[in-house]
Homo-oligomer: A and B are copies of this chain.
Amino acid sequence: MNIGEKLNMTMLCDFYELTMGNGYFENGFKDKITYFDVFFRRVPDKGGFAIAAGLEQLIRYIEDLHFTPEDIAYLRGRNLFCEEFLEYLANFRFTGDIYAVPEGTPVFPKEPLVVVRAPAIEAQLIETFTLLTVNHQSLIATKANRITRAARGRTVLEFGSRRAQGSDAAITGARAAYIGGCAGTACTISDQLYGVPAGGTMAHAWVQMFDSEYEAFKTYCEIYPTNATLLVDTYNTLKSGIPNAIRAFNEVLKPKGITKCGIRLDSGDMAYLTRKARKMLDDAGWTECKISVSNSLDEYLIQDLFMQGAQIDMFGVGERMITARSEPVFGGVYKLAAVEDDEGNIIPKIKVSENVEKITIPHFKKVYRFYGRDTGKAIADLITLHDEQVDDTQDLEIFDPMATWKKKTVYNFTARELLVPVFLKGKRVYDSPTLPEIQAYCRQQVDTLWDEVKRFDNPHKYVVDLSRKLWDIQQELLRSSQR
């Protein structure tokens, strides 16, 4: 069972994609082959890199792409579309090619994350959903990666469903958070659908439902002796919560020989309370009792807690991760890069802008990542034409496309292509890894980045250059646009 399989998202498109589609149809552009790139211009939170995610949902969307008779009836009712176009839509399937960066890959501004080669109407129609899923999940995976790195190996759980921006934000948001490094989620359906491990124990209401806190704790330990994490801040953490928890552990768990248990704090001064709590638990012999905290945390607050000597084994992170609160938009765009003429020649296209950062990179492209053979570290990315080959047995001089005097020679490296074929002629050709595989791949690829690129503030700018051929084409198009 899968939400993507249940819901047909074909109509989740911007209306202009349909008016343009009808226009292409009426103007004879129906079969014109186009190339579109998905890329982003800036890493959220001023970070050094982002984590690509959302491809799996894009794949399911593409596979399910079709208009139902109700969809066609709705569109006919708008009195804007010709009957032939509606008939075309009734038989609509995606027939093009899609290349994409695998989920979990660290990615950088300007490089294509997804490349679509398809007839104009098809390529145009998938714009909104493609951006939506890549933008949303990359946003959350990137944020989760920051937060889990701040946690220095401690467990981070995703707790944000109730503050998520809609049901899909909760469900696939938990998936993206797992890719970025979270160990699990509170969201049950994300486990059921995607295998993100879901867990949870009690809310304040559980404690309030009983005549006393102690009774609430004791009852919980009796029902879940091997899974007893008690919420200790309903009344007074130090004076009542922790003493009652210790009493319940002693009376229920100890006789059973159980040493693993936990407490959770959801309010108050986490640095002070967790240090005190650790001492009280240790003094009572509950050295294996884990301390969890959950109260509007993010990467900066987690770093601060460590600085203050907080004693925390597990972080539950809610609204600030599931909404990427500090910067809740991943600005991926979908831009025309080329069209094919009637003979199948690729004609590169450019979008000019007064803001030089917004000028697009034309043509059908691919992306190489270079890793040092000795260090295993990522050195630079190079965007090339689709048919260029990098020979990684030779030294290679690359240059900054915005400041061409900035040159760099890459040597003793291996080159890896980032974009892999996902659909060819409308058929899926990509086997998705499992979610744990994606998470492990993400961790391993983030490890290939130098620490300087991973800093939260003022990270070193990773090099993403253009091949000479590609740069020449871009410059020529810029010149001719100004004539």
Which A residues form the contact surface with B (CB < 8 A)?
1, 3, 6-7, 9, 11-20, 22-24, 26-27, 29, 32, 34, 36, 70-71, 74, 80, 120, 124, 127-129, 131-133, 135-136, 139-140, 159, 161-173, 186-189, 191-192, 198-206, 208-209, 219-220, 223-224, 227, 234-236, 267-268, 319-320, 323-325, 328-332, 334-336, 339, 349, 351-355, 358, 481
CB <8 Å contact, A167 and B7: yes
**Shortest CB–CB separation between residue A26 and chain B, in angstroms?**
5
Assess A209 versus B168: contact at CB under 8 Å? Given A319-B331, A323-B329: no
4 closest cross-chain pairs (CB), A and B: A16-B200, A166-B168, A15-B200, A131-B162
Asked if residues B208 and A12 are in contact (CB atoms below 8 Å), the reply is: no
Partner of A161 from the list B14, B169, B202 (CB cut-off 8 Å) is B14
Contacts of A127 in B (CB 8 A): 162, 203
Residue of B nearest to A29 (CB): B209
Q: Is the CB of A15 within 8 A of B223?
A: no
- Shortest Cβ gap from A120 to chain B (Å): 7
Q: From residue A79, how far is it (CB to closest CB) to chain B in Å?
A: 10
Tell me whether B163 and A166 are in contact (CB under 8 A): no
Residue of B nearest to A163 (CB): B329
Asked whether, in the complex, the Cβ of A187 is within 8 Å of the Cβ of B12, the reply is yes
CB pair B223–A22 under 8 Å, yes or no, is yes
The answer on a CB contact under 8 Å between B20 and A163 is: no
Chain B residue at minimum C-beta to C-beta distance from A227 = B80
B120 and A136 contact, CB distance less than 8 A: no
Instruction: Closest B residue to A13 by CB, please name it.
Output: B188
Chain B residues in 8 Å Cβ range of A268? 354
**Which chain B positions have C-beta within 8 A of A331?**
163, 319
Q: A208-B349, A355-B267, A358-B267 are in contact. Are A165 and B328 (CB under 8 A)?
A: yes
From A16, A131, A224, residue with most partner B Cβ within 10 Å: A16
Contacts of A192 in B (CB 8 A): 11, 70-71, 74
B139 touches A200 (CB 8 A): no
Q: CA–CA, A139 to B325, complex, Å?
A: 13
Whole-angstrom distance from the CB of A196 to the nearest CB of chain B? Answer: 11
Contacts of A224 in B (CB 8 A): 19, 23, 80
